[in-house]
């Protein structure tokens, strides 16, 4: 029994070491394509400005549960802003129903977003951030509609919708 335990423990340690680059151990390992942001605040100040769920998503690269955001089914005319710094990010003209359970867009407002390579959860994805404050918004995929072919799959909690 001791030999079996030793072999299982050794296999777990070796596997963890080999796979550690694919596991998201924390947001400090993710850097954005833009190193200096116009708006920077200490973590404690972000905590006072944002709700706990917004803080988890925008500042710690979290993800809200699918089908929980009312913005997923919002189709009125207007603009979607960053919930952290209120920078305009998307217009309602670029929103579409992707069926994923998160608000999706095919094109951001010019200059509104920055990108990160996200290697968490055993895959490589392109993470989308607000270009003004660096807040995590979601991910972009190459399976969207024309004219761009992109699907900007955003966390609703990271957005604020203002009707036109």
Q: Which residues contact 106 (CB under 8 A, 6 or more apart)?
A: 94, 96, 144, 145, 146, 147, 148, 149, 150, 151, 152
Nearest of 103, 108, 90, 91 to residue 153 by alpha carbon: 103
Known active-site residue 130: no
Environment class of 28 (CB within 10 Å of its CB; exposed 0-12, middle 13-18, buried 19+): exposed
Tell me which of 82, 85, 133, 153 is the catalytic residue: 153
Query: Which residues does the annotation mark as catalytic?
Result: 153
């Amino acid at each position: 029994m001791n030999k079996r335990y030793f072999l299982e423990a050794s296999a777990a340690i070796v596997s963890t070491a080999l796979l550690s680059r694919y596991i998201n151990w924390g947001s400090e390992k993710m850097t954005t394509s833009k190193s200096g942001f116009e708006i920077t605040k200490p973590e404690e100040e972000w905590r006072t400005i944002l709700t706990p769920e917004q803080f988890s998503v925008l500042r710690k690269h979290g993800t809200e549960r699918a089908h929980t955001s009312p913005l997923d089914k919002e189709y009125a005319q207007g603009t979607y802003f960053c919930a952290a710094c209120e920078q305009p990010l998307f217009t309602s003209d670029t929103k579409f129903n992707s069926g994923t359970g998160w608000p999706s867009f095919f094109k951001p407002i010019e200059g509104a977003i920055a990108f990160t390579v996200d290697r968490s959860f055993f895959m490589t994805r392109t993470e989308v951030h607000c270009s003004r404050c660096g807040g995590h918004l979601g991910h972009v995929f190459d399976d969207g509609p024309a004219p761009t072919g992109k699907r900007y799959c955003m966390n609703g909690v990271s957005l604020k919708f203002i009707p036109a």
